[in-house]
């Protein structure tokens, strides 16, 4: 950094040290230029040489300002969602290959290992859907940026996916043996973790919080990795101020709607998000629970936000590939997350609030599925169906895209949490009535799980 004290601008530069983290040299250029012009009026030959050097260096300072890089996001997603990762199924060689890539990136950023074995935190899991099947061993990847602060921000995303479609979670009609690359779900989120880690490690700013970056495995099987971490933390959880989770942030639509869940977990979230200037249209949901890793932290009384760009027809299918990712859109999502973090930099540890839907556990066990793709951004009562898988119970019963499920058997469905809870009540082969709202009509169909 160029020292401008001899030109009497030292009263401007220290603003950043007083908490104005968004003040940059670029914003100060008008004031600096005025002072330089004044100095020119009474400059000696020696002064003119100094001014010339400063004039050359000021634009360079702005050039190297740290920014989120869409090209780096693309590079990460391209590696993690490549065919040779074999779908990154928990405990598989593909998962371990992805783990090694994440570790390499953490090391390159000179982050501190915070796993139980260097960057790794191994944990047991069962390979079937939601607590069934053979036992295996998977790994979280954990890295730490030590700012010598008294509070820590956790930034996380899961890196596991469905592998070769053998475990029953795929929505493809004939999934077995097909590589499920999971570019959006959730190579996009892992790319977000790595890019935010780069941003905060290299921005030459010492924030008033430490950062813990975690890439979880076992999410697709029931939040195994995040649940294990919260029960076996490698840092003091009482010092965690909040958690940021990214799951499927790579398909920002043309409408630029971004879903942010967990805004009821602290009183700061709603007013903060409303006050941030962003090209995105933020749709908030207060609930701290949901089908991703933020729920594990919420259940430990930690404020948590979950960022999600919406459902699509490639969800949990082999067609969720890199060429469909909106990299410029993901950059805008990461810019929003950075704005959230920087706006809270001078704040004390956040207060935690319990939200209305705390009845759903982090791992809801169920033996059946409908074969629908729920909308996570709809604000109408019920479960809006964004897609239906051919050959699955919903399609066979006559449910179509655009239907709103309002009741399954005796269970009223008001939102995604009611839907997930209801699935745990049924057995395979059972037939139940399903009440739907189809445009302006009410329809009941018989569905067999």
> How many CB atoms within 10 Å of residue 182?
33
Least confident of 84-93, 108-117, 209-218, 370-379: 370-379
Q: Quick one: pLDDT at residue 168?
A: 79
Residue 251 has pLDDT above 80, yes or no: yes
Q: How confident is the model at residue 10 (pLDDT cuts 50, 70, 90)?
A: very low
Q: Quick one: pLDDT at residue 42?
A: 52
Most confident of 176-180, 371-375, 426-430: 176-180
Residue 385 has pLDDT above 80, yes or no: yes
Q: CA-to-CA distance for 122 and 225, rounded, in angstroms?
A: 9
Show the domains of the chain with their CATH numbers. Answer: 5-63 (no CATH), 70-343 (3.40.630.10), 372-448 (2.30.42.10)
Q: Quick one: pLDDT at residue 173?
A: 84
Each residue's pLDDT tens digit, 402-447: 999 999 999 999 988 789 889 889 999 999 999 999 999 999 999 9
Residue 176 has pLDDT above 50, yes or no: yes
Average of per-residue pLDDT across 123-133:
75
Q: CA nearest 291: which of 121, 396, 424?
A: 424
Q: Are strands 135-145 and 210-216 parallel, antiparallel or unpaired?
A: antiparallel
Q: Quick one: pLDDT at residue 4?
A: 32
Q: Are 377 and 310 in contact (CB under 8 A)?
A: yes
Residue 3 has pLDDT above 60, yes or no: no
Residue 295 has pLDDT above 80, yes or no: yes
Compute the half-sphere exposure of residue 251: CA atoms within 13 Å on the CB side of its CA. Answer: 20
Q: Quick one: pLDDT at residue 313?
A: 86
Q: Are 428 and 366 in contact (CB under 8 A)?
A: no
Residue 1 has pLDDT above 50, yes or no: no
For 17, 32, 39, 109, the CA distances from 8, given in Å and listed in that order, are 18, 9, 10, 36
Average of per-residue pLDDT across 385-398:
88
Structure tokens, 88: 């990154």
Return the higher-pLDDT residue of 366 and 398. Answer: 398
Q: Are 159 and 88 in contact (CB under 8 A)?
A: yes
Q: What size, in residues, is the chain? A: 449
Average of per-residue pLDDT across 278-292:
93
Q: CA nearest 331: which of 211, 272, 273, 246?
A: 246
Percent of the chain with pLDDT over 90: 68
**Through-space distance between the first and last CA atoms of the chain, rounded to whole angstroms:** 66
Each residue's pLDDT tens digit, 343-353: 999 999 999 99
Q: Quick one: pLDDT at residue 153?
A: 98
For 151, 219, 377, 379, the CA distances from 293, given in Å and listed in that order, are 21, 7, 18, 22
SS (H, E, C) the chain: CCCCHHHCCCCCHHHHHHCCCCCCHHHHHHHHHHHHHHHHHCCCHHHHHHHHHHHHHHHHHHHCCCCCCHHHHHHHHHHHCCHHHHHHECCCHHHHHHHHHHHHHHHHCCCEECCCECCEEEEEEECCCCCCCCEEEEEEEEEEECCCCCCEEEEEEECCECCCCCCCCCCCCCCCCCCCCCHHHHHHHHHHHHHHHHHHHHCCCCCCCEEEEEEECCCCCCCHHHHHHHHCCCCCHHHEEEEEEECCCCCCCCCCEEEEECCCCCCCHHHHHHHCCCCCEEEEECCCCCCCCHHHHHCCCCCEEEEECCCCCCCCCCCCCHHHCCHHHHHHHHHHHHHHHHHCCCCCCCCCCCCCCCCCCCCCCCCCCCCEEECCCCCCCCEEEEEECCCCHHHHHCCCCCCEEEEECCEECCCHHHHHHHHCCCCCCCEEEEEEEECCEEEEEEEEC
Q: Quick one: pLDDT at residue 311?
A: 87
Structure tokens, 192: 């977000």
Percent of the chain with pLDDT over 70: 82
Q: Quick one: pLDDT at residue 50?
A: 54
Q: CA nearest 282: which of 262, 297, 302, 267?
A: 262
Angle at 172 between CA 169 and CA 177, to 5 degrees: 80
Q: CA-to-CA distance for 78 and 98, rounded, in angstroms?
A: 12
Return the higher-pLDDT residue of 374 and 384. Answer: 384
- Residue identified by tokens 């005796």 is 410
Q: How confident is the model at residue 26 (pLDDT cuts 50, 70, 90)?
A: very low
Q: Quick one: pLDDT at residue 387?
A: 80
Mean pLDDT, the chain, integer: 85
Each residue's pLDDT tens digit, 28-69: 444 444 454 445 555 555 554 554 444 444 444 333 467 999
Q: CA nearest 266: which of 244, 296, 292?
A: 244
């Amino acid at each position: 950094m160029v020292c401008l004290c001899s030109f009497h601008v030292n009263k401007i530069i220290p603003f950043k040290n007083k908490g104005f983290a968004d003040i940059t040299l670029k914003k100060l250029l008008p004031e600096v230029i005025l002072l330089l012009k004044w100095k020119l009026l009474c400059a000696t030959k020696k002064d003119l040489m100094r001014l010339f050097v400063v004039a050359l260096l000021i634009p360079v300072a702005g050039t190297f300002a740290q920014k989120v890089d869409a090209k780096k996001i693309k590079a990460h997603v391209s590696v993690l969602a490549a065919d040779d990762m074999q779908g990154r199924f928990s405990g598989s060689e593909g998962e371990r290959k992805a783990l090694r890539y994440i570790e390499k990136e953490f090391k390159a950023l000179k982050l501190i290992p915070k796993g139980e074995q260097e960057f790794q935190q191994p944990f047991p899991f069962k390979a079937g859907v939601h607590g069934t099947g053979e036992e295996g061993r998977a790994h979280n990847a954990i890295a730490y940026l030590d700012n010598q602060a008294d509070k820590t921000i956790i930034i996380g995303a899961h890196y596991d996916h469905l592998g070769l479609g053998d475990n029953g979670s795929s929505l493809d009609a004939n999934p077995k043996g097909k590589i499920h690359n999971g570019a959006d779900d959730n190579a996009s989120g892992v790319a977000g973790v790595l890019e935010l880690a780069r941003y905060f490690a290299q921005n030459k700013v010492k924030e008033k919080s430490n950062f813990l970056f975690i890439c979880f495995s076992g999410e697709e099987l029931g939040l195994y990795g995040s649940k294990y971490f919260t029960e076996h933390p490698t840092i003091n959880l009482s010092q965690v101020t909040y958690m940021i989770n990214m799951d499927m942030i790579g398909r920002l639509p043309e409408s630029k709607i971004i879903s942010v869940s967990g805004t009821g977990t602290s009183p700061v979230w709603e007013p903060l998000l409303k006050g941030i200037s962003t090209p995105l249209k933020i749709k908030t949901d207060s609930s701290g629970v949901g089908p991703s890793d933020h729920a594990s932290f919420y259940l430990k009384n930690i404020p948590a936000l979950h960022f999600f760009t919406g459902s699509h027809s490639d969800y949990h299918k082999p067609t969720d590939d890199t060429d469909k990712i909106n990299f410029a859109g993901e950059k805008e999502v990461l810019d929003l997350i950075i704005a959230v973090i920087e706006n809270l930099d001078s704040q004390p540890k956040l207060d935690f609030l319990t939200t209305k839907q705390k009845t759903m556990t982090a791992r809801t066990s169920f033996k059946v599925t409908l074969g629908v793709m729920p909308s996570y951004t709809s604000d109408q009562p019920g479960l809006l169906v964004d897609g239906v898988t051919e050959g699955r119970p919903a399609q066979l019963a006559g449910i179509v895209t655009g239907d709103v499920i309002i009741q399954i058997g005796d269970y009223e469905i008001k939102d995604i949490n009611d839907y997930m809870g209801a699935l745990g009540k049924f057995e395979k082969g059972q037939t139940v009535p399903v009440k739907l709202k189809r445009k302006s009509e009410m329809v009941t169909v018989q569905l067999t799980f």
